[in-house]
Amino acid sequence: MTTAETILITGASGQLGRLVIAALRRRAPAAKLVGMVRDAAKARDLAEQGVELRVADYADPLALASALVGIDKLLLISSSEVGQRTAQHRNVIDAAVAAGVKLIGYTSLLHADSSPMALAVEHRETEALIRASGLPFVLLRNGWYSENYAMGVAAVLEHGVVLGAAGDGQLSLAARQDYAEAAAVVLAEDVTRHAGKVYELAGDQACTLADFAAEITRQSNRPVRYQNLPEADYKAALIGVGLPEGFAALLAESDAKAAKGSLFEPGKTLSQLIGRPSTPLSETVAAALAAQSRS
C-alpha cells in the first residue's frame, strides 16, 4: 500500500464501522482514513482520532458524489434499511464509479449467491451491481455475528430460556471484531492481492443455540435452556418484546433457514485472512455477561 492512499468507510459511526476504522489505524497507519456518516455530531470521537468526516446519506446521490471525491478504496457497509438496500447501494456504487475508486469492498452475506434466506436477495442484487460497475472489488460475505444472540443475554437470564427457530442447525458464529479485522486486511493490503476475490467469512467453530444456552449456564451458574419454536411463533415472540413486525419476520425466517444449514460454513477463510483464530463464542458470552453485571 502506498502512503498516498485514502480509504473511506461508510456507516463509520456504526458498530462495525468503528471497529473497521480502529483496525485500519493499526494495519494501515500511513493511510488517510475517511468516515462517511449521516450525523457528524455522533462521530466527534472519530474526528478527534484524526478521521476525516464526510456527511452523506445512501439515499442522496449528490452528497455521495461529493463524499467520494479523492477516495482510493471504499468499504461499503451494507445499509441497515432492509427493503431499500439495493437502491441505496446503487447510489454509492455509481458515485464510486464516477470518483474512479480503485477498490470497492462490500459487506455481503454468507453464501449470498445461493442462500435461501430472504436477507440474501438484496445482497445478491448489490453484488451484481458491483460486478457490473467494472470497478475492482472484493466481496466480504459475512456470517452471523455472535453478538446477534449475545446481546439478548439480559432477557435470557431473566427468563432462563433462549428462544429461537434454528433447531439443531449449526451456526458458524464469529465476533463483529473478527469481521472488522477482515475488512481492514483487504483494505490495507495491495489491491492486486484481493481484487476479484469473494470471501466466505465465518467462525472456526460452529454451535447450536442449545450450545449457546449451555454456555450461558456454564458462565452464569444459572440454568438456561433452549426452546425451539416454529417460525411463526418465534416471530410473534420477537414482536412481543418490541421488535417491528417486518424485522421480527426477517429474524425468524433467518433462524428457520439456519436450521437447514444456511449459516454454517466449514471453511476457515476468516481466521486465515485475519491471521488468528476467530473469537470463540465463550468470549462473546463472557463480554455480554460482564456488560450485564455492570448495567
pLDDT of residue 232: 97
HEC string for the chain:
CCCCCEEEECCCCCHHHHHHHHHHHHHCCCCEEEEEECCHHHHHHHHHCCCEEEECCCCCHHHHHHHCCCCCEEEECCCCCCCCHHHHHHHHHHHHHHHCCCEEEEEEECCCCCCCCCCHHHHHHHHHHHHHHCCCEEEEEECCECHHHHCCHHHHHHHCEEEECCCCCCECCECHHHHHHHHHHHHHCCHHHHCCEEEEECCCCCECHHHHHHHHHHHHCCCCEEEECCHHHHHHHHHHCCCCHHHHHHHHHHHHHHCCCCCCCCCCHHHHHHCCCCCCHHHHHHHHHHHHHHC
pLDDT of residue 39: 95
Exposed/middle/buried for 159, CB within 10 Å: 0-12, 13-18, 19+?
exposed
Measured from the Cβ of residue 26, the count of other Cβ atoms closer than 10 Å reads 10
pLDDT of residue 247: 86
pLDDT of residue 1: 42
Give the torsion through C-alpha atoms of 176, 151, 77, 137, to 10 deg.
Answer: 40
Q: Determine if the pTM surpasses 0.85.
A: yes
pLDDT tens string for the chain (295 positions)?
445 799 999 999 999 999 999 999 999 999 999 999 999 999 999 999 999 999 999 999 999 999 999 999 999 999 999 889 999 999 999 999 999 999 999 999 999 999 999 999 999 999 999 999 999 999 999 999 999 999 889 999 999 999 999 999 999 999 999 999 999 999 999 999 999 999 999 999 999 999 999 999 999 999 999 999 999 999 999 999 888 898 899 889 999 999 999 999 999 999 999 999 999 999 999 999 999 888 7
pLDDT of residue 295: 74
